[in-house]
Amino acid sequence: MGNLLELHEVTKVYSRGLINAKENVALRDFSLTLKDDEPTILTVAGESGSGKTTLAMLLLGFIEATKGQILYDGRDISTLEGKEKLAYRREVQAVFQDPFAVFNPFYTVDHLLTVPIRHFKLAKSRAEARDKMEEALTAVGLRPEDVLGRFPHQLSGGQRQRINVARALLLRPRILVADEPVSMVDASLRASILETLRNLQRDYGVSIIYITHDLTTAYHIAKSIIVLYRGAVMEAGDVDAVIKNPQHPYTRLLVDSIPWPNLDQRWGEHSIIAREANEDSDGCPFRGRCPSAMDICSTRPPLFEIGPHQTAACYLYEEKPKIVPDRVSELLPV
Ligand code: ADP
Ligand code: MG
């Protein structure tokens, strides 16, 4: 028993322009721990520009943190080499927003699935490769005979996104980073694709980091949630607690802006709509439009422990115990 993934106060700063370079803190002091024996589904939610894709890129090792550390199986991912690097590349898989992006229009589905099998030497024979493909396709709710041999344009958007999930699953990942996996898929298909992700967590023990701007899908798929705003964690905890009883003024605004008479219906159609421009980096990023803003909000609020499974970075809870980012995961149910 140990930790599969640990992020310790990870910060990513992008600088733009050579002269008068402007720094943009896309993600700030983000910490997270996933245990290796407790596969879970965690949502990272936030409006566009809140740092979600930056987090996904960091997790996948596509970009490097400016500050902080990311450990996989106890090893800093920036130092991995050889076999360990290959294992990490195989075990942490991604599904992105655009189901078309990974398809080359001139290759069939078979080709798309064969490439990773070869690259990671997952099968000893063609027959074994075929079995693996069929198993993965079936696991994501596709009938192999419906999709094998087809070209991308012959498939629906929902089928394409399922194939992307199958492709990730082939590699027997331990973590799946799903960055807005259903936002380009028809609303009518979203629920069943998310259901498929949930089955993977249950049946294959894959931990899923579900990244979304959509709180209704988050509510239905995840156990726990981290709400980001302009790169900073605003609130985190049990998904039920945070969505049914939001404590941070920002989360309240998000939840209030969603007209959901019944959380169990019509999910996957409402997105976070809050927007703001407040360029200075000290203080609470939300204070510019926070109805509860106070003088003290010009210094960045730490996280306060509001309940057994809930924390918010807001001085309204100043009398509660403070917690350091590295302890946030202790409040997240699995
Ligand atoms: P999200 O996925 O939540 O929409 P992103 O992680 O894409 O957020 O972006 C977070 C912030 O970082 C935004 O302000 C965005 O403009 C900036 N950003 C993202 N990628 C880059 C990049 N490659 N170079 C410079 N700035 C970037
Ligand atoms: Mg994004």
As a whole number of angstroms, the distance between CA 237 and CA 78 comes to: 29
Residue 50 lies in a domain: no
Give the residue, by CA position, lying nearest to ligand 1 atom 5.
51
Residue 123 lies in a domain: no
Entry pTM: 0.92
Domain hosting residue 265, numbered range:
248-334
- Ligand lying nearest the CA atom of residue 55: 1
| CB half-sphere exposure, 247, CA atoms < 13 A | 27
Per-residue pLDDT of 105-144, as tens digits, reads 889 999 999 999 999 999 999 999 999 999 999 999 999 9
C-beta atoms surrounding 29 within 10 Å:
22
Residue 188 lies in a domain: no
As a whole number of angstroms, the distance between CA 230 and CA 48 comes to: 9
The answer, yes or no, to whether residue 150 has pLDDT greater than 90, is yes
Residue 298 lies in a domain: yes
24, 273, 281, best to mutate for ligand 1 pocket (most atoms within 8 Å of CB): 24
Number of domains making up the chain? 1
Give the residue, by CA position, lying nearest to ligand 1 atom 25.
14
The answer, yes or no, to whether residue 263 has pLDDT greater than 70, is no
Per-residue pLDDT of 13-25, as tens digits, reads 998 777 777 789 9
As a whole number of angstroms, the distance between CA 300 and CA 312 comes to: 12
The answer, yes or no, to whether residue 211 has pLDDT greater than 80, is yes
- Ligand lying nearest the CA atom of residue 97: 2
Residue 57 lies in a domain: no
Residue 167 lies in a domain: no
Percentage of residues in the chain having pLDDT higher than 70? 93
Which pLDDT score, from 0 to 100, does residue 273 have? Answer: 54
Which pLDDT score, from 0 to 100, does residue 271 have? Answer: 59
Residue 211 lies in a domain: no
Residue 11 lies in a domain: no
Over range 78-94, report the average pLDDT. 94
3-state secondary structure of 175: strand
Mean pLDDT of the chain: 90
Over range 166-188, report the average pLDDT. 92
Q: Tell me which residues have their CB closer than 6 angstroms to ligand 1.
A: 14, 16, 24, 26, 46, 48-54
**pLDDT bracket for residue 278 (50, 70, 90):** very low
